[in-house]
Structure 1
Amino acid sequence: MAYFINDDCISCGACEPECPVSVISAGDDKYVIDQDGCIDCGACANVCPVDAPQPE
């Protein structure tokens, strides 16, 4: 299981520095999570102001 970032993302960037494996990056209109590298820790979800990171 991995996390993904849904369309609620406001591109605030709060999630990116929290990822312990550095698999979150800025996309065209929102941040994205590399599903292959995600370790399902939930650190990104814990800091997101709009609950955009969701478990797959």
Structure 2
Amino acid sequence: MGYNITPEEIEKMKAFLKEHPVDPQYEGLLDGNIPLDQVDAQIYTSLLRQLGELPE
């Protein structure tokens, strides 16, 4: 799968995750009443793992 994500965008996602880590109560949930920052955190975590920028 190819991505067009710059190193700067990767660093922004990592910084976001430091400020807004995935809350275990929302992990894996993308429906219902989930805060938007948790949706973003889960998406960024998934992308960064696929890019090899986070441990599995």
Higher helix content, 1 or 2:
2
TM > 0.5 between the two? no
Instruction: Look at both structures and tell me which one has the larger radius of gyration over its CA atoms.
Output: 2
**Could you state the TM-score of these two structures normalised by the residue count of structure 2?**
0.30
Compute the TM-score of the two structures, normalised by the length of structure 1. Answer: 0.30
